[in-house]
Amino acid sequence: MRRKAVFAGIFVLAVTVFVLKAQERSRASSPDIEPEAIAALNKMGGYLRTIKVFQIRAETSREEVLVDGQKILFSNVTELLAQSPNHLRVQTNSDREDRLYLYDGKTFTLFDPEANYYATVPAPGTIVELINRLEEKYGVDTPLTDLFRWGGPHSSVDQIKSATDVGPSEAGGITCEHYAFRQPGLDWQIWIQLGDYPLPRKLVLTTTTDEARPQFSAVYTWNLTPSFNEDTFRFVPPADAKKIVLAEVPSGSGGDKK
């Protein structure tokens, strides 16, 4: 199976959202770039950076393409709780695996409840630093990383070739504005909540480098006032759980993920 195509699209998306003012002015004249679509991404990214605590449920589906071109659909539910700058809890339940990710500001633990294995490593001081270290050092993809990278200071819109305001729509029963974007290798759509809380409510990615055009889609349910305590982010291993070593990415491998 060619599993990486859709996931590659997610990380390309993560670096396309924040609009530097100089870039925005230089590209606004393109007939394929609607300024209001770029401005909506700008507004959403700015708002996401102001949220210090949030809980989100993401219901996702992902197509994988077999060698013969047949597409197989897999579903996943991810529950995420974040407290900026250094607390994170993510639990995923999918057709093929379950995982628990815990970060208490000092250590990170990855737990596989089915195999009853866990690995714990020292962690840096912020969620974004943790996400980067897990990818670069261990080849671990933390779910929903785009929520922390949208609107980052090093992002750009250079790869966006088309930006369209499709119009009003609904996602998960929430009134949104629907936008569509194109860039090399990827078509993507996003539904942004209207009003004072411009939250991403739905995302659809289509990988265009594959003739089968596999899709990834996610619907987000947000809670901006979640209840929790410090123990929520701490890992207490089950009595019979086995501790293992989190393998590092071999030097020179380029950080390819498994």
pLDDT tens-place string over residues 50-108: 999 999 999 999 999 999 999 999 999 999 999 999 999 999 999 788 999 999 999 99
- Report pLDDT for 96: 82
CATH number of the 4-243 domain: 2.50.20.10
pLDDT for 257 beyond 50: no
Percent share of the chain, pLDDT over 90? 71
pLDDT for 9 beyond 90: no
- Report pLDDT for 67: 92
Q: What is the mean pLDDT of the chain?
A: 85
* Band of pLDDT at residue 23, cut at 50, 70 and 90: very low
d(CA 180, CA 65): 24
- Report pLDDT for 122: 96
Sheet containing 71-83: order of strands:
162-171, 174-183, 186-193, 200-207, 215-223, 53-65, 71-83, 87-94, 98-103, 107-112, 117-122, 242-243
Structure tokens at 89: 């809890």
Q: Domains of the chain: which residue ranges? A: 4-243
* Band of pLDDT at residue 15, cut at 50, 70 and 90: very low
98-112, 196-210, 240-254: the lowest-pLDDT one: 240-254
Higher pLDDT, residue 152 or 161: 161
2-11, 22-31, 103-112: the lowest-pLDDT one: 2-11
pLDDT for 19 beyond 70: no
pLDDT for 141 beyond 50: yes
The structure's pTM equals 0.80
pLDDT for 6 beyond 50: no
- Report pLDDT for 252: 61
